[in-house]
């Protein structure tokens, strides 16, 4: 029921996309020179550029990924918000003005301002490409996720649609139109997130037994453990039962019951009762793929349509403070303090093997106190900070460091410093960016927690939390939020593709390979590059479908920070930097961080399908190793080569 | 002027770095502290998190105001 496309949603959505494209073509027709194509003639007003920063930056990952992570795991998603925003401080106080002063079109220009070296242009151009493509993956995954419930297409069609649209925008347009699209999208995103937040606060909390489709999730018990079987028998409801999920090392965690009408339910054993020593059975949801390949959902053969859509929506409050059944409207602080004292039912999943060799994915409820929802360390990635393993703590520090350092190293953010007039305008637009982005990130906490208690979550896909929350409030809001989120993807993707095509045409072809291209030819090469990069992004977006988009963005930040930041910062603060030092730092930072990610346990399980224990690096996030490595490389190589030059 | 802006930027950066570093280290090494409820029924994790976002905004505004005077002077000087 989650995925029935509505006519209203489609109309609003198409209207948005049409306006965006129209605006893009109109403005694009006015910029013909290469200066205009890559840097909008440096004539964008600072306020527009500032909101466009927000438009570029608040990608599908910010909106869908963070809200989804908060909706499923609570506070942990908000850690990303905090890290992303903190990165802007580096951009404003350290990078913004020198970037504007040193460069012309691309980030490589700024790195190379002192040296005039082909090697630097080559290395920086390649790193721009690598980071942009890495950052494109989550945007494409996000696009597929959005299209699915909105228009009813499968994931890959969504990815293809976005890819094609964006290539069209970039090829016909350039930086002027991209900037105005970003401005439009940035404003809409912040405004409608505010509207959504106000509606969440006006709705408040209600205690519910299930999600918005009215299905009531049952619990049986508590029984004393020894009386479980006799209690089931005495109830007269079940014709039989069997344990599920037992392994050689652990007892069964689930019980499948059968009823006379042919229904079967899988229950999860939980401890309960006044002393916590008794057994409670909680109703779960299941998708079973039997050994012969047939699928069943919650014990029944699936009807037509996506399998995921036949699961019941979830996410509800099971207890409010003082036993209330509903709070009515709450204030922004009351919202958080009420949740702190409530109990929310979160959902986790687990794959278990059936006796016949088939596999059942069980989605099971976890009643969780609000005080746990609002503390760090519930998400699997962050759980380590609570259990105390040193490597887990390092992994967390590494991620937070990458988020802090990554923003100021993202090529599509850096090129935005060339669209304004001077250093003062660069500074002012960054401040506008920080204000709008910071405000939005505060809203993400409310939207995420609102989705957590909306009764509309899809247990199989946490990236959909925000649009489904909007749907639980009104169809109009759903249509608008989906359209805004989709333009968000369009905007960020076009910014990224523009940054990569600029790197190819300007850094690689013109400077590194010394091709003699006129401004017109450069623009043509850039457009061809856009099509190629776009195609690569489409393929990767389909391959990486399973990963939370926020997590993927964390990686893009790690690569950007490791490859670009050491050179950028050291050039500003140390006179001893040499050409070779910059090249070595960019290459080492890029290769080491990419290599680390490809060898990490997360990639092993999610991409290669191998067990996590066979991963070759001790933790997943590379930043804490590879960022210092980049700095060290730069200093050592600079010292070595400087001495030789004497 | 440029040097003064850069110096100001560095100081504000260090202030924020200390705030952010404190937050990250507290999360990593003493997560239970984050459950402490300092005011109005809201725990430290949320208060500190919101605080960091507000602090970023305040520092950015401060920088904008202090730098703007400089660049205005510069513009006056540059005028013929």
Q: Per residue in A125-150, pLDDT tens?
A: 888 888 888 888 888 887 777 777 66
Measured distance CA(A29)–CA(A176) in Å, rounded: 10
The C-alpha of B77 sits at a distance from chain A's nearest C-alpha, in angstroms, of 15
Residue A256, sorted as left (phi over 0), alpha (psi -120 to 50) or beta, turns out to be beta
DSSP label at A186?
H
Q: Given pLDDT bands bounded at 50, 70 and 90, which one contains residue A446? A: very high
Closest CA relative to residue A546, chosen from A458, A485, A606, A612: A606
State whether A337 and B42 contact (CB < 8 Å).
Answer: yes
Angle between helices A475-502 and A7-28 (to 10 degrees): 30
Q: Per residue in A354-374, pLDDT tens?
A: 887 888 888 999 888 988 888
Measured distance CA(A297)–CA(A309) in Å, rounded: 10
CB A74 within 8 A of CB A366: no
Measured distance CA(A561)–CA(B12) in Å, rounded: 21
B62 touches chain A (CB under 8 A): no
State whether B43 and A396 contact (CB < 8 Å).
Answer: no
Whole-number pLDDT of residue B23: 93
Query: The whole model's pTM is what?
Result: 0.87
Whole-number pLDDT of residue A28: 65
Does A162 or B53 have the greater pLDDT score?
B53
Per-residue tokens: A207: 């205690």
Per-residue tokens: A424: 């003062």
Whole-number pLDDT of residue A5: 60
Measured distance CA(A28)–CA(A601) in Å, rounded: 44
CA nearest to A321 within chain B = B41
Per-residue tokens: A7: 């006519």
Q: Per residue in B39-65, pLDDT tens?
A: 778 889 899 999 999 999 999 999 888
Whole-number pLDDT of residue A307: 64
CA angle B5-B6-B12, nearest 5°?
Answer: 90
Per-residue tokens: B51: 């605080």
Measured distance CA(A389)–CA(A386) in Å, rounded: 8
Give A386's contacts in chain B (Cβ within 8 Å). 31
CB A419 within 8 A of CB A50: no
- Residue A75 — φ and ψ, nearest 5°? -55, -30
Longest CA–CA span in chain B (Å) reads: 62
B36 touches chain A (CB under 8 A): no
Closest CA relative to residue A143, chosen from A133, A134, A153: A153
Give A431's contacts in chain B (Cβ within 8 Å). 60-61, 63-64
Q: Per residue in A45-72, pLDDT tens?
A: 788 888 888 887 887 667 888 898 899 9
Q: Given pLDDT bands bounded at 50, 70 and 90, which one contains residue A395? A: confident
CB A163 within 8 A of CB A140: yes
Q: Given pLDDT bands bounded at 50, 70 and 90, which one contains residue B76? A: very low
- Measured distance between the N- and C-terminal CA atoms of chain A, rounded to whole angstroms: 73
Mean pLDDT of B13-28: 92
B38 touches chain A (CB under 8 A): no
CA nearest to A426 within chain B = B64
- Residue A251 — φ and ψ, nearest 5°? -75, 170
3-class secondary structure, B16: helix
State whether B54 and A93 contact (CB < 8 Å).
Answer: no
Give B20's contacts in chain A (Cβ within 8 Å). 82, 86, 89, 404
Q: Per residue in A517-538, pLDDT tens?
A: 676 777 777 788 888 888 888 8
Closest CA relative to residue A634, chosen from A573, A588, A575: A588
CB A113 within 8 A of CB A568: no
Query: Per CATH, the architecture of A7-25+45-204+388-645 is what?
Result: Up-down Bundle (1.20)
CB A69 within 8 A of CB A80: yes
A411 touches chain B (CB under 8 A): no
Give A371's contacts in chain B (Cβ within 8 Å). 35, 43
Measured distance CA(A373)–CA(B46) in Å, rounded: 11
Measured distance CA(A307)–CA(A157) in Å, rounded: 17
Spell out the domain ranges in chain A.
7-25+45-204+388-645, 219-387
């Amino acid at each position: 029921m989650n995925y029935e496309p509505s006519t209203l949603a489609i109309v609003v959505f198409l209207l948005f996309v049409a306006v965006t494209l129209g605006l893009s073509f109109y403005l694009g027709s006015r910029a013909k020179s290469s200066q205009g194509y890559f840097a909008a003639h440096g004539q964008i007003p600072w306020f527009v550029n500032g909101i466009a920063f927000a438009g570029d930056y608040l990608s599908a990952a910010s909106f869908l990924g963070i809200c989804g992570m908060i909706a499923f795991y609570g506070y942990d998603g908000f850690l990303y918000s905090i890290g992303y925003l903190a990165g802007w401080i580096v951009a404003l106080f350290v990078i913004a003005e020198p970037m504007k002063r040193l460069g012309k079109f691309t980030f490589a220009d700024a790195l190379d301002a002192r040296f005039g070296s082909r090697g630097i242009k080559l290395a920086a151009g390649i790193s721009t490409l690598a980071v942009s493509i890495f950052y494109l993956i989550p945007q494409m995954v996000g696009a597929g996720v959005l299209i699915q419930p909105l228009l009813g297409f499968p994931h890959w069609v969504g990815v293809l649609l976005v890819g094609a649209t964006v290539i069209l925008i970039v090829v016909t347009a350039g930086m002027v139109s991209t900037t105005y699209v970003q401005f439009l999208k940035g404003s809409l995103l912040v405004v409608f997130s505010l509207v959504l937040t106000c509606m969440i606060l006006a709705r408040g909390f209600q205690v519910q037994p299930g999600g918005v489709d009215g299905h009531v999730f049952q619990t049986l018990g508590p029984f004393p453990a020894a009386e479980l079987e006799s209690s089931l028998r005495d109830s007269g409801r079940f014709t039989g039962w069997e344990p599920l999920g037992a392994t050689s090392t652990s007892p069964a965690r689930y019980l499948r019951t059968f009823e006379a009408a042919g229904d079967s339910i899988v229950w999860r054993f939980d401890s309960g009762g006044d002393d916590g020593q008794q057994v409670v059975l909680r109703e779960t949801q299941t998708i079973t793929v039997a050994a012969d390949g047939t699928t069943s959902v919650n014990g029944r053969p699936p009807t037509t349509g996506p399998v995921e859509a036949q699961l019941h929506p979830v996410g509800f409050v099971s207890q409010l403070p003082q036993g209330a059944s509903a709070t009515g409207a709450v204030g922004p602080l009351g919202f958080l303090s009420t949740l702190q004292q409530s109990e929310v039912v979160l959902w986790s999943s687990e794959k278990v093997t059936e006796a016949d060799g088939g596999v059942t994915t069980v989605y099971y409820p976890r009643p969780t106190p609000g005080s746990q929802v609002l503390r760090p360390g519930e998400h699997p990635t962050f759980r380590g900070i609570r259990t105390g393993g040193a490597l887990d703590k390092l992994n967390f520090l590494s991620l937070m460091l990458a988020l802090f350092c990554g923003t100021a190293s993202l090529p599509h953010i850096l090129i935005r410093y060339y669209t304004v007039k001077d250093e003062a305008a660069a500074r002012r637009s960054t401040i506008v960016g920080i204000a709008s982005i910071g405000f939005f990130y505060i809203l993400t906490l409310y939207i995420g927690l609102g989705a957590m208690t909306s009764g509309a979550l899809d247990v199989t896909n946490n990236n959909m939390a925000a649009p489904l929350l909007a749907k639980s409030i009104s169809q109009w809001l759903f249509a608008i939020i989906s359209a805004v989120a989709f333009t968000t993807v369009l905007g960020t993707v076009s910014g990224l593709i523009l940054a990569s095509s600029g790197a190819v045409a300007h850094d690689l072809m013109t400077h590194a390979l010394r091709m003699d291209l006129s401004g017109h030819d450069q623009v043509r090469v850039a457009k061809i590059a856009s099509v190629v990069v776009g195609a690569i992004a489409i393929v990767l977006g389909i391959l990486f479908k399973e990963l939370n988009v926020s997590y993927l963005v964390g990686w893009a930040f790690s690569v950007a920070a490791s490859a670009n930041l050491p050179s950028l910062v050291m050039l500003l603060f140390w006179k001893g930097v040499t050409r070779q030092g910059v090249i070595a730092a960019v290459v080492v930072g890029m290769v080491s961080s990419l290599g680390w990610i490809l060898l990490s346990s997360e990639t092993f399980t999610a991409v290669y399908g191998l067990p996590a224990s066979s991963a070759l690096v001790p933790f997943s996030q590379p930043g804490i190793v590879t960022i210092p490595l980049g700095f060290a490389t730069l200093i050592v190589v600079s010292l070595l080569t400087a001495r030789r030059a004497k | 002027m440029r040097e003064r802006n850069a110096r100001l930027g560095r100081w504000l950066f260090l202030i924020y770095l200390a705030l952010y570093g404190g937050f990250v280290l507290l999360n990593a090494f003493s997560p239970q502290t984050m459950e402490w409820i300092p005011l109005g029924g809201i725990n430290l994790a949320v208060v500190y998190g919101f605080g960091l976002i507000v602090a970023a905004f305040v520092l950015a505004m401060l920088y904008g105001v202090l730098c703007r005077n400089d660049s205005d002077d510069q513009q006056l000087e540059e005028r013929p």
